[in-house]
Chain A
Amino acid sequence: MAKQYETVIGLEVHVELATKTKIFCGCSTAFGGAPNTHTCPVCTGMPGSLPVLNRQVVEYAMAVGLATNCQIHQYCKFDRKNYFYPDNPQNYQISQLYLPICHDGGIEIETAAGKKVIGIHEIHMEEDAGKLVHDEWEDCSLVDYNRSGVPLIEIVSEPDMRNADEVIAYLDKLRLIVQYLGASDCKLQEGSMRADVNLSVREVGSEKFGTRTEMKNLNSFKAIARAIDGERARQIELLEEGKPVIQETRRWDDNKEYSYPMRSKEDAHDYRYFPDPDLVPVVISDEWLQAVKDRQPELRTEKLARYKREFDIPDYDAGILTESKRMADIFEETTALCGRPKKVSNWLMGETLRLLKEENMEPDELGFSPAYLAKLIELVEEGTINQTVAKEVFERIFYDNADPEKYVEEHGLKTVNDEGELKRVVEEVIAANPQSVADYKGGKDKALGFLVGQTMKAMKGKANPGAVNKLLKELLA
């Protein structure tokens, strides 16, 4: 009988913090600058330069730690991790090994199989590396230190996950927590959230962990799921053949759906950590800790409960609305302005999601102003525009953040409420469609819809369909 294997997975998640400046110098963390335009002696490892810690990094790390139920080390330090690589200008990375800022936490996830707590071993602060670009022309590499020194937190889970579903649920939960805290935008594709997967397999029932490998270069949830399946299969195959699994770092190639060992024998994996003598300890007083606690924003779970309670919207809708901090913010701000949560929810759940899907965008990328959505809803409620026009106007809000009032004005989209004008057009439509009139009178109610449509068309959409309907019925009675 074939052996049954269990997969054991732990994650190391790197999150780029949303600070304005780097962790140890006053260089901007903004994306997109030309190579090395956001650099200084500190983040390029110039001789004699010294690091000074960005306070905001500590605050964000604490916030994430508290939100993931971690203990906070109120005395923590930075250590140097020594290894040579060109993207690492000092040839050591400043990180935390001995006393990381947060430890022993965990978050609850929910999958089809039910609820489960995933332990968090620790969260530590560290600096990001620069970027290496391969130059095809000269067959060399080019180093850009713009990202060097961008602050990261590394969230290290316990080996508590058993399959891809749990991994993805965990990552999703982490992402939401961090986004809600405003500590990072957590974009997997852009690398502001990166997950390394530590995976081992063991026979079901075994107490002992198998030898694990660490997989890097996982840029999407789908890639992570594939990598887990692929690596599990590779390790089981080795074990079945009686070969050992080697503890190593592997790079996942999502095209080939296979992982490859990453480092050469030139790397000894001996990082010679020691406390960085250039930095002093971080001591977190009870007052400071309390202040960060007091500032913690409402997280998703709490928000979800509140939406159901306060706004009386369906669970499903509340779930979607709170799945992105940006979406939830738009919902709340718009509702505050127009006082119509149901309507706001409908616009977000309907048109907004439709357009996002059409454009292949994430809710976080929504750029329109809640004030304009609120205004649009009011225009509809007042009867200034009808629903059809409103959808057209919403597209302008969605794409261009257009002011709906101005747009309606400029494009003459207001509903015509002049009864004389409407009556004239309806009479013209009746005159022009004798067959439909006859059908209606003969009992085919559907014909009325056609006549309404014709009237709307003649009015260029600017009529109130209800009013048209009513008038037609009167005139054809």
Chain B
Amino acid sequence: MQESTPDKTQEIRGLPWRYGGRKGKYMQLTDLTALELGRKIKEKEISVREAVQASLDRIAQTDGAVGGFVTVDAKGALARADEVQKGIESGQYTGALAGVPVAVKDNICTEGLKTTCSSKILYNFVPTYSAEAVLNLQKAGAVILGKTNMDEFAMGSTTETSAFGPTRNPWNLEHVPGGSSGGSCAAVAACEAPYALGSDTGGSIRQPASFCGVTGLKPTYGTVSRYGLVAYGSSLDQIGPIAKDVSDCAAILETITSYDRKDSTSIDRRETDFTSALADDVKGLRVGIPSDYLGEGLDDEVRAAVMQAADVLREKGAVVEEFDLSLVEYAIPAYYVIASAEASSNLARFDGVKYGYRAKDYEGLHNMYKKSRSEGFGEEVKRRIMLGSFVLSSGYYDAYYLKALRTKALIKQSFDRAFEKYDVILAPASPTTAPKLGESLSDPLKMYLGDIYTISVNLAGLPGISVPVCTDGRGLPIGVQLIGDCFKEKKIIRAAYAYEQARGRWAAPEPAAGEAALDNMQAAGSAAKEVG
């Protein structure tokens, strides 16, 4: 697995500015952050159509290799660009993101635009409604470029379980982008989209963001409406932003946050002006690092990155110390019981009756159910549905499901205790950097263990942000995670922003598989995907 890297430490020291990609006069529109692009549109330096076209061109150039998108809606996006342009001129759209294109994870419903969850069972599903988060973006003048690839139904950590083929990591095409929001993170990392929406059930925004060198935020449960997000684990799912930096994430979160009467778990939050927290000031901020996160299983380079971030915050006046969070090893088993149980029920509706895939040959109703589902779902999805059905079945409910919910209560309590002492928790986002394609799927349990630092955040409903710190010896990004108490997004945004100010601009990489890969990419890109 380890490649021969002669002197890793030296590589790390030189980072991250080395991977600057295009800079200065070589900068292109697609290198800009969402807010930078929005500013140029507002100041009429460029039109919305130009911004959208730049993204579409970039997708055509690189996505053949990256595979971030499942559906690209070039026609729709350009038409919408002109509409938004008019809206900006008439004063309808005044926000900072007006006219800025966006990529949307394919488990978030978009009216009139295919939404497949990267599953064969929804291969042709065109929603007649949009998710509330999408509606909120559209109200702010967003232009949807298309839908991004993901692990099927968000079940996976590599975006390899997609029925439409894997997404590749723009930093090294032999590596996975992480998952399940791998398509969204890769699209942003490859500058195909200025920003994207992802969803996070057990780390599905923060882990791929870390693997792809982008910034991703999972909000407090209930902050962004789940209406229109195809459910995986309903009690854990949250939609969140994926972008090039913390400022973008704050602005996007501000836009998609809403109290939605259509989602009973939506929370009527106060003070959702998240951009007001973008201040380079962490003086006196109490930062805790769970020492139980730094032990066995954690890659040395990732540990070093966490310490590097800690040093930066400390230098800026934060009080950083290690502490014992406890119960860390119980989060994954509790999570897999709860998420699989909920998933087994949530995914029951995919049966070939109302939408999506129906098997061709069957005898009678039950056989149609079985065939449609067995042919329509991939292996990992079936595995979790089976596990979930089992743990809820007669005689096991108490031993597994209730036990997991009790464990969840204890995990929540341990975070509550931690947040009595600390404002934010600093932690790794993943034990390693991005593995190679095919390395993880062979051993599902090992793949599940990779979620150890992200999963408990979902169990406790907390907000977390993943910020790139540096790259490892192989040139792959390493991100760290800042976790806040419930409803304290502003604290993690502030800490992440302050860190980012010290780190400097994290610029876009060209996919790193060499010049030949770029040529291939362009060839593959010429067969760019279009909406049918």
In the complex they form, whether A and B have CB atoms below 8 Å apart is answered with yes
Do A52 and B345 touch (CB < 8 A)? no
Do A272 and B264 touch (CB < 8 A)? no
Do A274 and B365 touch (CB < 8 A)? no
Do B392 and A272 touch (CB < 8 A)? yes
Query: Does A461 sit within 8 A of B, measured CB to CB?
Result: no
Q: A residues within 8 A CB of B353?
A: 86, 89, 143
Query: Does B272 sit within 8 A of A, measured CB to CB?
Result: no
A272-B393, A277-B342 known; A41-B263 Cβ under 8 A: no
Do B265 and A270 touch (CB < 8 A)? no
Query: Does A74 sit within 8 A of B, measured CB to CB?
Result: no
A-B contact count (CB 8 A): 100
Q: B residues within 8 A CB of A91?
A: 348-349, 351
Q: Which residue of A lies closest to B131 (CB)?
A: A48
Do B263 and A50 touch (CB < 8 A)? yes
**Contact residues of A: prevailing secondary structure:** loop
Do B345 and A274 touch (CB < 8 A)? yes
* Contact residue among A47, A52, A80 (Cβ-Cβ distance under 8 Å from B115): A47
Q: Which residue of A lies closest to B389 (CB)?
A: A272
Do A46 and B348 touch (CB < 8 A)? no
Q: B residues within 8 A CB of A45?
A: 349, 354
Most buried by B among A47, A52, A84: A47
Query: Does B490 sit within 8 A of A, measured CB to CB?
Result: no
Q: A residues within 8 A CB of B115?
A: 47
Q: How far is the CA of A143 from the CA of B368 in the complex (A)?
A: 15
Q: A residues within 8 A CB of B348?
A: 82, 84, 90-92
Which residues of chain A from 230 to 259 have any CB-CB distance to chain B below 8 Å in the complex? Answer: none
Q: B residues within 8 A CB of A143?
A: 353
Query: Does A68 sit within 8 A of B, measured CB to CB?
Result: no
Q: Which residue of A lies closest to B341 (CB)?
A: A274
* Contact residue among B261, B369, B394 (Cβ-Cβ distance under 8 Å from A270): B394
Q: A residues within 8 A CB of B349?
A: 45, 47, 89-91
Most buried by A among B109, B235, B348, B366: B348
Query: Does B229 sit within 8 A of A, measured CB to CB?
Result: yes
Do B366 and A47 touch (CB < 8 A)? no
Most buried by B among A84, A274, A279, A280: A274
Do B397 and A278 touch (CB < 8 A)? no
Do B109 and A274 touch (CB < 8 A)? no
Do A49 and B365 touch (CB < 8 A)? no
Do B227 and A278 touch (CB < 8 A)? no
Q: How far is the CA of A144 from the CA of B349 in the complex (A)?
A: 16
Query: Which of B13-21, B122-130, B181-189 is near enough to bind chain A?
Result: B122-130
Interface code A72-113, partner B: CB below 8 Å = 1, 0 otherwise?
A: 000000001010101001111000000000000000000000
Q: Closest CB of chain A to B384's CB: distance in Å?
A: 14
Q: A residues within 8 A CB of B285?
A: none
Do B397 and A52 touch (CB < 8 A)? no
Do B397 and A48 touch (CB < 8 A)? no
Which residues of chain B from 254 to 309 have any CB-CB distance to chain A below 8 Å in the complex? Answer: 261-265
Q: How far is the CA of A230 from the CA of B341 in the complex (A)?
A: 42
Q: How far is the CA of A51 from the CA of B355 in the complex (A)?
A: 19
Query: Does B226 sit within 8 A of A, measured CB to CB?
Result: yes
Query: Does B47 sit within 8 A of A, measured CB to CB?
Result: no
Q: A residues within 8 A CB of B476?
A: none
Q: Which residue of A lies closest to B369 (CB)?
A: A84
Query: Does A266 sit within 8 A of B, measured CB to CB?
Result: yes
Do A48 and B227 touch (CB < 8 A)? yes
Which residues of chain B from 109 to 154 have any CB-CB distance to chain A below 8 Å in the complex? Answer: 109, 115, 117, 122, 125, 127-129, 131
Q: Closest CB of chain B to A43's CB: distance in Å?
A: 11
Query: Does B415 sit within 8 A of A, measured CB to CB?
Result: no
Q: How far is the CA of A270 from the CA of B391 in the complex (A)?
A: 12
Query: Does A44 sit within 8 A of B, measured CB to CB?
Result: yes
Q: Which residue of B lies closest to A140 (CB)?
A: B365
Q: B residues within 8 A CB of A89?
A: 349, 353-354
Query: Does A264 sit within 8 A of B, measured CB to CB?
Result: yes
Q: A residues within 8 A CB of B389?
A: 272
Q: B residues within 8 A CB of A84?
A: 348, 351, 366, 369
Do B393 and A44 touch (CB < 8 A)? no
A41-B128, A84-B351 known; A49-B227 Cβ under 8 A: yes
* Contact residue among B230, B235, B264, B342 (Cβ-Cβ distance under 8 Å from A48): B230
Query: Does B98 sit within 8 A of A, measured CB to CB?
Result: no
Q: A residues within 8 A CB of B366?
A: 84, 264, 266
Q: A residues within 8 A CB of B109?
A: 47-48
Query: Does B69 sit within 8 A of A, measured CB to CB?
Result: no
Do A274 and B397 touch (CB < 8 A)? yes
Query: Does A366 sit within 8 A of B, measured CB to CB?
Result: no
Query: Does A429 sit within 8 A of B, measured CB to CB?
Result: no
Q: Closest CB of chain B to A269's CB: distance in Å?
A: 9
Q: A residues within 8 A CB of B108?
A: 48
Query: Does B463 sit within 8 A of A, measured CB to CB?
Result: no
Query: Does A223 sit within 8 A of B, measured CB to CB?
Result: no
Do B264 and A51 touch (CB < 8 A)? yes
A44-B354, A48-B229, A277-B342 known; A53-B264 Cβ under 8 A: yes
Q: B residues within 8 A CB of A53?
A: 264
Q: How far is the CA of A91 from the CA of B117 in the complex (A)?
A: 19
Q: Closest CB of chain B to A285's CB: distance in Å?
A: 19
* Contact residue among A41, A52, A86 (Cβ-Cβ distance under 8 Å from B129): A41
Do B261 and A272 touch (CB < 8 A)? no
Q: A residues within 8 A CB of B128?
A: 41
Interface code A262-276, partner B: CB below 8 Å = 1, 0 otherwise?
A: 001010001011100
Do B351 and A48 touch (CB < 8 A)? no
Most buried by B among A48, A279, A280: A48
A90-B348, A270-B394 known; A48-B231 Cβ under 8 A: yes
Q: Which residue of B lies closest to A264 (CB)?
A: B366
Q: How far is the CA of A134 from the CA of B249 in the complex (A)?
A: 53
Interface code A27-69, partner B: CB below 8 Å = 1, 0 otherwise?
A: 0000000000000010011111111110000000000000000
Q: A residues within 8 A CB of B122?
A: 47
Do A46 and B345 touch (CB < 8 A)? no
* Contact residue among A48, A274, A278 (Cβ-Cβ distance under 8 Å from B265): A278
Q: How far is the CA of A48 from the CA of B230 in the complex (A)?
A: 4
Query: Does B211 sit within 8 A of A, measured CB to CB?
Result: no
Do B264 and A280 touch (CB < 8 A)? yes
Q: Which residue of A lies closest to B394 (CB)?
A: A270
Q: How far is the CA of A44 from the CA of B354 in the complex (A)?
A: 8
Q: A residues within 8 A CB of B233?
A: 277
Q: Closest CB of chain A to B359's CB: distance in Å?
A: 15
Q: Which residue of B lies closest to A81 (CB)?
A: B345
Q: How far is the CA of A368 from the CA of B394 in the complex (A)?
A: 54
Q: A residues within 8 A CB of B227?
A: 48-50
Do B230 and A47 touch (CB < 8 A)? yes
Query: Does B401 sit within 8 A of A, measured CB to CB?
Result: yes
Q: How far is the CA of A405 from the CA of B262 in the complex (A)?
A: 52
Do B355 and A46 touch (CB < 8 A)? yes
Query: Does B378 sit within 8 A of A, measured CB to CB?
Result: no
Interface code B325-362, partner A: CB below 8 Å = 1, 0 otherwise?
A: 00000000000000001101100111101110000000
Q: How far is the CA of A53 from the CA of B122 in the complex (A)?
A: 28
Q: Closest CB of chain A to B376's CB: distance in Å?
A: 13
Q: B residues within 8 A CB of A280?
A: 264-265
Q: Which residue of A lies closest to B366 (CB)?
A: A266
A270-B393, A278-B264 known; A80-B127 Cβ under 8 A: no
Q: B residues within 8 A CB of A86?
A: 351, 353, 365
5 sample A-B contacts, Cβ–Cβ < 8 Å, listed by A number: A47-B109, A49-B129, A49-B227, A84-B366, A277-B234
Taking A91-B349, A277-B265 as known contacts, 14 extra A-B pairs with beta carbons closer than 8 A to each other, sorted by chain A number, are A45-B354, A46-B129, A47-B231, A47-B350, A47-B355, A48-B109, A80-B345, A84-B351, A86-B365, A91-B348, A92-B345, A92-B348, A272-B344, A278-B265
Which residues of B line the A interface, CB within 8 A?
108-109, 115, 117, 122, 125, 127-129, 131, 226-231, 233-235, 261-265, 341-342, 344-345, 348-351, 353-355, 365-366, 369, 389, 392-394, 397, 401
Which residues of A line the B interface, CB within 8 A?
41, 44-53, 80, 82, 84, 86, 89-92, 141, 143, 264, 266, 270, 272-274, 277-280
The 4 closest A-B pairs by CB, nearest first: A91-B348, A272-B392, A277-B235, A277-B234
